[in-house]
Amino acid sequence: MSNKSILLIIGGGIAAYKSLELIRELARRDVKARCILTKAGAEFVTPLSVSALSGEKCYTDLFSLDDEAEMGHIQLSRSADLVVVCPATADLLAKAANGHANDLASTTLMATDKPVLMVPAMNVRMWEHAATRRNVETLRRDGVAVMEPDEGAMACGEFGPGRLPEVLAIADEVEEQLAAQNGAKPLEGQHILITAGPTREPLDPVRYLSNHSSGKQGYAIAAAVARLGARVTLVSGPVALAPPKGVDMVNVETARDMLKACETALPADVFISVAAVADWRPSISANKKLKLKDEGKTLPALSLAENPDILATISKKRKNRPGLVIGFAAETHDVEALAQAKMKRKGCDWIVANDVSGDVMGGAENEVSLVTRDNVEHWPRMDKTTVARNLANRIAVALGNPDGQQLAAE
């Protein structure tokens, strides 16, 4: 996304504050934002905060002599690769659908020759109103991309569709829109199989052995390779995450379930084993809740059995082995040495090694080293989305796609 930019129009609504988060998230993805703040939007966020985060002047007034002399609303409307309206209020949707141009935001939307993405946020009744539905249909017929709002509790106290989508989902959609302009799909035609999240090994109907894996890194990788055109199968243990867009989901509980799902999904060109699979399971899972024994309160004995090694099993397959097998090594010490030993032991091609002694498991950031048979690349600490993008680009390069080489260079 290097050298890509958007023009962000911030509408008036309580969700306007999330536009500030969006500016920061896009900056992390190397997408620059120049912003227009509507009069109503300025009731919720300030031009100073928008300008401070974007690093650009915040435009507010159609009839500003200084702004028109410096940029001009026509040039402003064509200065970016994509125009994003977030939040897109019912009023902004109506103006855009019906060709109104009585302020800087609506005039810019009329004057632009660039693709437009609308991100609606409003009260559920307003979203479901016949006029709003009509305006959305008109915009989509005109070639404007309109995201569907999320469903949930709103600031007004009502519940239903109308909430602004999560910032990460909006940023993903922006990236997808920008990538579509390039036509760059370096992983198109590739099938990538990914595991993510923890597994749960039942002790009895109410208890299980598991770990702190959130699934965030695996889900981010699935989203990243899907955006580069891959067909993605994501085999996931239990997590509290929404499925990435355009990904085939397979939900599992135990390590044995996960292995079976992976083998069923083969053949694949790439296998990425991100899941934190439980090494052991109770050798016997009770069919009713375990109890302390009478007055003595003796703890029940816990006998463990070894779980199948999914990474080694896929790596050492004679038939249907993916051409590139990537494992993850979550270690608390001697990270690089243990990762290199794991790569040899498992028979995989790459290992992504990370130190999980801190806040990595369940956290938003990761610091990894990419261990290959010839080299070790140390990546700085970064958010998991950026780790995912970098890994997706390295995979594209490894598969010999020249577009992937360019993406990696950027």
- Does 395 count as an annotated binding residue? no
User: Does the annotation list 120 as a binding residue?
Assistant: no
CB 117 within 8 A of CB 83: yes
Q: What residues contact 154, with CB distance under 8 A and at least 6 apart?
A: 123, 124, 160, 162, 163
384 among the known binding-site residues? no
- Give 165's DSSP letter: P
In 3-state terms, the chain is what percent helix, strand and coil (to 5)? 35, 25, 40
Contact 132, 90 (CB under 8 A): yes
Question: What is residue 42's DSSP assignment?
Answer: G
Q: Is 57 annotated as a binding residue?
A: no
Concerning whether 156 is annotated as a catalytic residue, the answer is yes
Q: Is 279 annotated as a binding residue?
A: yes
DSSP assignment string, 329-381: EEESSSHHHHHHHHHHHHT-SEEEEEE-SSS-TTSSEE-EEEE-SS-EEEPPP
Q: Give dist(CA 312, CA 251) in Å, integer.
A: 21
Pick the catalytic residue from 86, 156, 262, 348. 156
* Contact (CB, 8 A) for 217 and 384: yes
Q: Give 298's DSSP letter.
A: B
- 205 has binding-site annotation: no
- Whether 308 has a binding-site annotation, put simply, is yes
Q: Using CA atoms, how far apart are residues 327 and 273, in angstroms rounded to an integer?
A: 5
Query: Binding residue per annotation — 288?
Result: no
For residue 329, which amino acid is it?
A
Structure tokens at 7: 């023009």
Q: Confirm whether residue 310 is marked as ligand binding.
A: yes
Contact 272, 221 (CB under 8 A): yes
Active site (catalytic) residues: 156
Q: Which residues are annotated as a binding site for CTP?
A: 279, 289, 308-311, 328, 342, 346
Q: Which residues are annotated as a binding site?
A: 279, 289, 308-311, 328, 342, 346
